[in-house]
Amino acid sequence: MPITIYDIAREAKVGIGTVSRVFNNNPNVTIETRKKVLAVSKRLHYVPHAYAQGLARKRTNTLAAIIPFFTNYFFIEVLKGVQDKCAALGYDLILYGINHPSEVEPYLNKSIQRGRVDGILYFSMKLPVDFAKRFHGVTKPLVLVDSFDESCDSLFVENLEAAKIATGHLISLGHQNVGLIDGNMSSFPARQRLEGFKHAMAEAGLGINEKAVVISTTTKLDGFSRDAGYLAMKEMMTLGAAMPTAIVISSDVQAIGAISALRERGMKVPEDVAIVSFDDIELAVHFGLTTMRQPMYEMGELAVEKLVQRFEHPDAPPSHQTFLPRLVVRTSCGMNKPETYIENFLHTEN
Amino acid sequence: MPITIYDIAREAKVGIGTVSRVFNNNPNVTIETRKKVLAVSKRLHYVPHAYAQGLARKRTNTLAAIIPFFTNYFFIEVLKGVQDKCAALGYDLILYGINHPSEVEPYLNKSIQRGRVDGILYFSMKLPVDFAKRFHGVTKPLVLVDSFDESCDSLFVENLEAAKIATGHLISLGHQNVGLIDGNMSSFPARQRLEGFKHAMAEAGLGINEKAVVISTTTKLDGFSRDAGYLAMKEMMTLGAAMPTAIVISSDVQAIGAISALRERGMKVPEDVAIVSFDDIELAVHFGLTTMRQPMYEMGELAVEKLVQRFEHPDAPPSHQTFLPRLVVRTSCGMNKPETYIENFLHTEN
DNA sequence: CTGAAAGCGCTAACAT
DNA sequence: ATGTTAGCGCTTTCAG
């Protein structure tokens, strides 16, 4: 019963080609016949069939996003940028959420399947090692978001540099014994942040207390969670007198967990321990968190733009773009800059 | 270049029908020929074309989710349930994020377009009034999540009842002057919660102080935000001595904002004001929030199941299923009995 | 400017 | 069990 171009062609007494032209805004149609076709189409409630169009046009106008940790603030925010840009550009977005590394392959396969999507947004995870091999040539445009690989376009936060800035900020405030609470090492950003932390300490001629570097071993959210932060701080506190006077924490949620661990022992931020974290989630203001804000939404938008550009220039060399997080100073680092606080209060996104 | 069943048929010296059968696990194929076909397919890296299959099969194996407020915790969590269930059932999920009411129509149109998706998940918003009319018959399976309409399957939280429970809990603790901080009235859940609040007060023979009911007027996130909660509490505090001793707040994030407004005035929770909110987000524990927990993930899963059932029984009468949030008692209500949990009900109609 | 016809790649009914 | 054929609904030459 669904009506097709044939129905409307017959009814409008034209050929199906003409009907098609009308719907594709092909200029080679008299304004008269165009009107006639449109009228009939409206009367019959004609709507083109997406898959039939896709098959004939050899494109789907759909993108796939392969994304881990659905409930992680960072990804949500990036995804929102992706979603909005897709809408603006007329693309549909298929979401493949990864709960476990083993799910990467099947989704990658689906995405690569001919005629499912035009391109892929691949988030934060490293590509399977033999990826290029196994799909030799069968692959399609893919941009890496928050990750890096020479072979394809990528877009990522300069986490090493950001960690240096965060650590440096604490050092500049006079701290000598600085610690780190980081996410799981399976996470690329977590590794980068560890590096950056070490660099900053080395540059300042400061030694690193091995025990003051607590790396999450949980795989849940790669350790970027309140619980992980709480546990890490508990561990850190076993250091007693040797405990750092300042700590870099790899996400705001972890910082919040860490703060509650501190509170349980009657310790205060920033008086007893100064903190700089990452992300700048909505509640960061509430806790007065000094944090490295990442341009998440913008990254999402740009990722889509990059992918679309790739469609247009399939043979351009891979492009790599980096974002440097911005230090947002509030109170958790012990540096009192209320004006920055106000500036960031009620900050609106969307 | 892309290889098709024709290529592999020729190479394997069989008909395309056989190739198709192999890939559709049709039993009518000798194990031998099956092997042969599979071997050639692997060698040639054959992958079926999704759209071609879709066109021929008249189904896409794809669902659309039309969802507002991407960054709202409630939706994220529900969406995760949706995503996981889709994966389990082999469906792809297209995400249409609504930033503004005006975007509903275009997305609804896209979703309804023939051959784009098999069914639609429509979240929290009311359907356009003339929906049934305008698409007379052209529509496809749609389930309403966190919203209600007689004409189609739906799935929603009993917000009225939940608000009664929340309010009742506060009343049972001895509070007479109870207030409400609610989301924007354009939100269905917000309206329901206002109703429930009123019912509970009436049932308890308590009068309502009009000024102690603060309803957000912002459209951003429909007022379900920290900022809105902060502002609402500020307003509430202008009541001075007439201020409620207990307040029902329509979300945890709002409660958090409200608490900081309280703190600024040196007021404490629950000593000065007792609070019960909604959601039970991750950080609720951190704040000791007594809250109405909604089975968000489960709702997402069930929504997909319902949609799939609808595919199988197109003519079954619409089914409506409700979820009653569970009261999770922590400390913000002033009742110090974390071990007391009121049981979670779930009842189904049809 | 427009109609006819040849695909796009696959499924499914129909023979054999 | 397997090959053949006719669609699925649209786009895109190719004539005219």
Number of structural domains found in chain A: 3
Residue at A134 is within a domain = yes
Residue whose Cα is closest to the C1' of C11 = B56
Q: Are residues B134 and B163 in the same domain?
A: no
Q: Which nucleotide is nearest to B55 (CA to C1')?
A: D8
The residue that leads in pLDDT, B333 or B27, is B333
User: Locate tokens 């004939």: which residue?
Assistant: A56
Q: Are residues B260 and B187 in the same domain?
A: yes
> What CA–CA distance (Å, rounded) separates A172 from A179?
15
Residues of A in contact with B92 (CB under 8 A): 94, 96, 110, 116
Neighbouring residues of B251: CB distance < 8 A, sequence distance ≥ 6: B74, B183, B224, B229, B277, B278, B279
Per-residue confidence at B341, pLDDT binned at 50, 70, 90? very low
Q: Are residues B145 and B200 in the same domain?
A: no
Predicted confidence (pLDDT) at residue B349 exceeds the cutoff of 80:
no
The residue that leads in pLDDT, A109 or A308, is A308
The residue that leads in pLDDT, A219 or B120, is B120
Q: Are residues B132 and B88 in the same domain?
A: yes
Q: Are residues B164 and B279 in the same domain?
A: yes
**A93–chain B nearest CA distance, Å:** 5
Q: Are residues B137 and B247 in the same domain?
A: no
pLDDT value of position B220? 85
Q: What are phi and psi of B21, to 5 degrees?
A: -60, -45
pLDDT value of position B135? 62
- The per-residue pLDDT for range A18-61, each reduced to its tens digit, is 999 999 888 888 888 898 889 889 888 888 999 999 999 999 99
* Ramachandran region, residue A280 (left: φ > 0; alpha: ψ -120 to 50; beta: rest): left
**Partner-chain residue, chosen from B51, B110, B257, that has the shortest CB–CB distance to A115:** B51
Provide the percentage of residues in chain A whose pLDDT is more than 90: 65
Residue at B333 is within a domain = yes
- The per-residue pLDDT for range B4-30, each reduced to its tens digit, is 999 999 888 998 989 999 999 888 888
The structure tokens listed for B314 are: 């197109």
Residues of A in contact with B83 (CB under 8 A): 70, 95, 97
Of the ranges A131-145, B103-117, B166-180, which one carries the lowest mean pLDDT score?
A131-145
Q: Are residues A145 and A106 in the same domain?
A: yes
pLDDT value of position B66? 96
pLDDT value of position B113? 86
The structure tokens listed for B202 are: 């009436």
Q: Residue A6: count other Cβ atoms within 10 Å of its Cβ.
A: 11
Strand C at less than 7 A from CB of A28: yes
Residue at A56 is within a domain = no
Predicted confidence (pLDDT) at residue A344 exceeds the cutoff of 50:
no
Q: What are phi and psi of A342, to 5 degrees?
A: -60, -40
pLDDT value of position B147? 87
Q: What is the DSSP string of A225-289?
A: SHHHHHHHHHHHHTTGGG--SEEEES-HHHHHHHHHHHHHTT--TTTT-EEEEEE--TTHHHHT-
Classify residue A215 by its DSSP letter: E
- The per-residue pLDDT for range B225-259, each reduced to its tens digit, is 999 999 999 999 999 999 999 999 999 999 999 99
Q: Regarding beta strands A154-157 and A320-323, do their DSSP bridges make them parallel or antiparallel, or are they unpaired?
A: parallel
The residue that leads in pLDDT, B115 or A129, is B115
Q: Are residues B36 and B185 in the same domain?
A: no
pLDDT value of position B347? 32
Q: Are residues B29 and B147 in the same domain?
A: no
Over residues A272-297, mean pLDDT: 93
Q: What is the DSSP string of B318-340?
A: P-EEEE--EEE--STTS---TT-
User: Locate tokens 């009518």: which residue?
Assistant: B28
Q: What is the CATH number of the domain that holds B19?
A: 1.10.260.40
Q: Are residues A146 and A247 in the same domain?
A: no
The structure tokens listed for B176 are: 């007479």
Classify residue B266 by its DSSP letter: T
pLDDT value of position B112? 86
Which residues of chain A (231-270) touch nucleic strand C at CB < 7 A? none
Residue at B338 is within a domain = yes
Integer-rounded Cα radius of gyration of chain B: 26
> What CA–CA distance (Å, rounded) separates B147 from B145?
5
pLDDT value of position B134? 64
Nearest residue on chain A to B70, judged by CA atoms?
Answer: A80
Residue at B55 is within a domain = no
- The per-residue pLDDT for range B125-154, each reduced to its tens digit, is 888 877 766 665 567 899 999 988 888 999
Strand D at less than 7 A from CB of A53: yes
> Mean pLDDT, chain B, as a whole number?
89
Residue at B54 is within a domain = no
pLDDT value of position A346? 33
Q: What are phi and psi of B186, to 5 degrees?
A: -75, -15
- The per-residue pLDDT for range A72-88, each reduced to its tens digit, is 888 999 999 999 999 99
- The per-residue pLDDT for range B295-328, each reduced to its tens digit, is 999 999 999 999 999 999 988 999 999 999 999 9
Closest by CA position to B179, among listed B238, B252, B248, B250: B248
pLDDT value of position B49? 93
Per-residue confidence at A133, pLDDT binned at 50, 70, 90? low
Q: Regarding beta strands B320-323 and B246-249, do their DSSP bridges make them parallel or antiparallel, or are they unpaired?
A: unpaired
* CB of A264 closer than 8 Å to CB of A233: no
Per-residue confidence at A244, pLDDT binned at 50, 70, 90? very high
User: Locate tokens 């930033």: which residue?
Assistant: B99
Q: Are residues A167 and A152 in the same domain?
A: no
The spacing between the Cα labelled CA in A5 and the C1' in C11, in angstroms, equals: 22
Residue at A57 is within a domain = no
Q: What is the CATH number of the domain that holds A142?
A: 3.40.50.2300
Q: Are residues A203 and A258 in the same domain?
A: yes
Predicted confidence (pLDDT) at residue A242 exceeds the cutoff of 70:
yes
Q: In terms of residue numbers, what domain contains B25?
A: 5-48
Q: Is A116 helix (H, G, I), strand (E, B) or coil?
A: coil
